[in-house]
Chains A and B, each alone.
Chain A
Amino acid sequence: MAAAARLFIRGAHSTLAMSGVGTGKQSSLLTLSAGCSSRLKAQRHVAHFTFQPDPPTTEYGATQKMNLFQSITSALDNTLASDPTAVIFGEDVAFGGVFRCTVGLRDKYGKDRVFNTPLCEQGIVGFGIGAATAGATAIAEIQFADYIFPAFDQIVNEAAKYRYRSGNLFDCGNLTIRAPWGCVGHGSLYHSQSPEAFFAHCPGIKVVIPRSPLQAKGLLLSCIADNNPCLFFEPKILYRAAVEQVPVDSYTIPLSQAEVLQEGSDLTLVAWGTQIHVLKEVANMAQEKLGVSCEVIDLRTILPWDTETVCKVTAAAPAVTSAAVV
């Protein structure tokens, strides 16, 4: 009985259909017996942090409420509108993407500009490098950062070195690679990885990780505009959970510039992506419970990283670097 109760997962509408595709109606197969108390009902825990939006800004013009995936769509929409060479490709991007980042773009801009590729990450990135070299603004999507490894050779041996090895005759600076990144609670080994460390020491590429919708759109537009191949990792746990007022028009947030989110004098906390929100809470707890004053820095660009800001701050307060933990 208890075992049956444990199977009753909160929010699981689509379990145990016995035949065919779900009809959309709640299945009545999974009912608790009378003896089971709802106290035994297992619950999936919600996220271990609260997304903390930045205060709204009019710095970049009129804004609209957007979550993270919508802010990505907005950035891509702006790009396809202003740059006729821009193309978006990857697995399942045509119907809108598994995280809905490309919804509506194919209908709006055409099948030749937003298209599916076969299921092959080394092909996706290789194709993107070639398109970028030939002058197109190439925006490649890797479905999960966990699957970027087949493309590691193309990224590290090819994209990163294209300009240097050719003596600046050729380059793939027009390439941006986007991938959902980081822990999401249930992703386990292969839908949760944060692989930025594998790329962090590869000169020639840039690695960028936003903490919020507002940051994401500006940083993604900077990556697309940047004349170097960029990896843009999007914290998937924030796709729906993070909601902010985000400018509708294009705007850029500079790369290789860390942001000091709160100042402190005893300790410096450096993080990126999801973990920023954890560290903000930590900083508050440290102040309340330990009387420790923490500086919180969002690194934003992992490579090339803003040594000046971090080291200058660290001269005042010792640094602890933290990242999203799987």
Chain B
Amino acid sequence: MAVVGSMSRISGLCRHAVRQTAALKTPRLLQRRSFRVTAVQQQQQPFDSSLEKPQFPGASAEFVDRLEFIQPNVISGIPVYRVMDRQGKIINPSEDPQLSKETVLNFYQKMTLLNTMDRILYESQRQGRISFYMTNYGEEGTHIGSAAALESNDLVFGQYREAGVLMYRGFPLDLFMAQCYANADDLGKGRQMPVHYGCKDLHFVTISSPLATQIPQAVGAAYALKRENTNRAVICYFGEGAASEGDAHAGFNFSATLECPLIFFCRNNGYAISTPTNEQYRGDGIAARGPGYGMLSIRVDGNDVFAVYNATKEARRRAVAENQPFLIEAMTYRIGHHSTSDDSSAYRSVDEVNYWDKQDHPISRLRHYMTARDWWSEDDERSWRKQSRKTVMEAFERAERRLKPNPELLFTDVYQEMNPTLAKQRESLFRHIQQYKEHYPLDLYEK
């Protein structure tokens, strides 16, 4: 292959923009894990203008003497990798990860438990019990499939629609609820809006509202983990809308140039609040941007939990082994509204939503796979639904009864240490509350 020939001539890692889907098959030179010397030095071959080959430091492709613009390939762009069809049947048996019954049942139970928790918490917002909520309907496969493919201590940077990753890792219902209710059990001390989860023990970095800010942060974390040499990876989740942010471009570029072991996982669910993808981008989605940065990329069926699992597993293995980033674009559909502040019937049809809910849902596709193997019966389904609803309701009731955090926590953790200005503000607040205590619902708060 001409590609390999020129690569070996430059004797190094000459990354060049790949225009076609063949990029996915072009093998990068496999390296054992080590710090690769930056490509800059290898690109500086001696100048020889007797050769009819470009000598530019910026790109070393061949000359061409015909004027032709490269067509962006959006009609038959990067194909969508899947393992199961929409009825849960394996298409190519060699791609079946052949996970154990126990593992697959766990996938199913985690996806459905998430779905149940979503229903109850969404409803609790409608009833005025919590202030805000975001559901994960339709995207459960992207969470569970990817989370299952990681090591438990890989670091996760999320956007806000990845609660299933946390659930898969074992974050208890009580703590999900505590954060949504901002009660005294919340690990975040009640400071953020609902669904801004975080858990240090489960290596899930606390969610923040600004979009895409986590992307370059994930790259920096991956670089630090690479230097630590502990074989840990970083995964960074974001939506196709957030991928338009400058921070996304920054993160992609840095991860490739600085050779970081991380996975960029884009949940392309068709909408950024009300903005459909054809108003978000004109290229071939997010996966097609990867090669532009020198990154290995793949597009997968996000509603196929095995496809998500396979892609993430392989990307993780290679990211750590070869110190390079991978981009996975998981195509899916946001069945729910953007949040409780949104009514999506204002910008999309109920028919469209119903198609995805009824005919291409990650939970039902996995259930079909399970029932085809007699791993799950109608009785199992009924009793599991009943049990999961019961455990969610019990956690919900406990969370409702719990007191809110001590108001003193308004003033801590601004800096690691308290400082005189904050201490003065705290004293001032407490004096005020003491004087006007009948105006403040102090009984709701821990002392």
Chain A residues within 8 Å of B, Cβ to Cβ: 85, 87, 111-112, 115, 117-118, 120, 122-123, 125-136, 138, 150, 153-154, 157-158, 161-171, 173, 203-204, 206, 227-228, 256, 304, 307-308
What is the chain A residue whose CB lies nearest that of B35?
A112
- A-contacting 9-mer, from B5-13, B196-204, B328-336, B364-372: B196-204
Q: Contact check, B220 vs A126: say whether CB atoms are below 8 A apart.
A: yes
9 closest A-B pairs by beta carbon, nearest first, are A126-B216, A130-B220, A123-B250, A130-B217, A166-B206, A131-B220, A127-B220, A134-B224, A167-B189
* Chain B nearest CB, measured from A99 CB (Å): 22
* Bound CA span A154–B419, Å: 23
Max count, chain A CB within 10 A of own CB: residue among B217, B225, B246: B217
* Bound CA span A166–B157, Å: 13
5 more A-B contacts (CB under 8 A) besides A131-B220, A170-B200? Answer: A126-B247, A126-B250, A134-B224, A153-B213, A167-B187
* Chain A nearest CB, measured from B158 CB (Å): 13
Q: Contact check, A158 vs B227: say whether CB atoms are below 8 A apart.
A: no
Partner pick for B414 among A115, A150, A164, CB 8 A cutoff: A164
Q: Mark B101-134, 1 if CB is under 8 A from A, else 0.
A: 0000000000000000000000000000000000
11 A-B contacts (beta carbon < 8 Å) = A117-B257, A117-B258, A127-B216, A129-B216, A129-B217, A154-B247, A165-B208, A167-B413, A170-B200, A170-B206, A173-B416
* Bound CA span A173–B208, Å: 17
* Chain A nearest CB, measured from B252 CB (Å): 9
Contacts known (A129-B220, A135-B224); A158 close to B210, Cβ less than 8 A: yes
Interface residue B18 (Cβ < 8 Å from any Cβ of A): no
Partner pick for B187 among A132, A164, A169, A206, CB 8 A cutoff: A169
What is the chain B residue whose CB lies nearest that of A135?
B224
Q: How large is the interface on B (under 10, 10 to 19, 20 to 34, 35 or more residues)?
A: 35 or more
* Chain A nearest CB, measured from B358 CB (Å): 39
Max count, chain B CB within 10 A of own CB: residue among A135, A153, A164, A166: A166
Max count, chain B CB within 10 A of own CB: residue among A128, A165, A206: A165
Q: Contact check, A308 vs B420: say whether CB atoms are below 8 A apart.
A: yes
Chain B residues within 8 Å of A, Cβ to Cβ: 35, 37-38, 155, 157, 186-189, 191-192, 196, 198-200, 205-206, 208, 210, 213, 215-225, 227-228, 246-247, 249-251, 253-254, 257-258, 412-417, 419-422
B224 proximity list for chain A (CB < 8 A): 85, 87, 130-131, 134-136, 138
* Bound CA span A169–B189, Å: 10
* Chain B nearest CB, measured from A122 CB (Å): 5
What is the chain B residue whose CB lies nearest that of A113?
B227
Q: Contact check, B189 vs A134: say whether CB atoms are below 8 A apart.
A: no
A304 proximity list for chain B (CB < 8 A): 415, 419-421
Q: Contact check, A203 vs B414: say whether CB atoms are below 8 A apart.
A: yes
B200 proximity list for chain A (CB < 8 A): 169-170
* Bound CA span A161–B208, Å: 9
Q: Contact check, B220 vs A138: say whether CB atoms are below 8 A apart.
A: yes
* Bound CA span A165–B196, Å: 9
Max count, chain B CB within 10 A of own CB: residue among A126, A128, A130, A256: A130
Q: Contact check, B198 vs A167: say whether CB atoms are below 8 A apart.
A: yes
What is the chain A residue whose CB lies nearest that of B250?
A123
Max count, chain A CB within 10 A of own CB: residue among B189, B249, B414: B414
Q: Contact check, A120 vs B253: say whether CB atoms are below 8 A apart.
A: yes
What is the chain A residue whose CB lies nearest that of B253?
A118
B225 proximity list for chain A (CB < 8 A): 134
Contacts known (A127-B220, A138-B220, A170-B205); A112 close to B416, Cβ less than 8 A: no
* Chain A nearest CB, measured from B318 CB (Å): 20
* Chain A nearest CB, measured from B263 CB (Å): 14
What is the chain A residue whose CB lies nearest that of B189?
A167
* Chain B nearest CB, measured from A95 CB (Å): 11
What is the chain A residue whose CB lies nearest that of B415?
A228
B222 proximity list for chain A (CB < 8 A): 130, 134
What is the chain B residue whose CB lies nearest that of A228?
B415
B249 proximity list for chain A (CB < 8 A): 120
Partner pick for A150 among B35, B189, B246, B253, CB 8 A cutoff: B246
Partner pick for B206 among A126, A134, A169, A173, CB 8 A cutoff: A169
Q: Contact check, B217 vs A127: say whether CB atoms are below 8 A apart.
A: yes
What is the chain B residue whose CB lies nearest that of A132?
B220
A157 proximity list for chain B (CB < 8 A): 208, 210, 213
* Chain A nearest CB, measured from B379 CB (Å): 41
* Chain A nearest CB, measured from B185 CB (Å): 11
* Bound CA span A93–B213, Å: 24
B250 proximity list for chain A (CB < 8 A): 118, 120, 122-123, 126-127
Q: Contact check, B416 vs A135: say whether CB atoms are below 8 A apart.
A: no
Q: Contact check, B216 vs A122: say whether CB atoms are below 8 A apart.
A: yes
Q: Contact check, B246 vs A131: say whether CB atoms are below 8 A apart.
A: no
* Bound CA span A170–B188, Å: 10
Partner pick for B155 among A111, A128, A134, A154, CB 8 A cutoff: A134
* Bound CA span A168–B189, Å: 9
B422 proximity list for chain A (CB < 8 A): 203
* Bound CA span A249–B307, Å: 56
* Bound CA span A291–B258, Å: 60
What is the chain A residue whose CB lies nearest that of B225?
A134
Contacts known (A126-B220, A157-B213); A165 close to B192, Cβ less than 8 A: yes
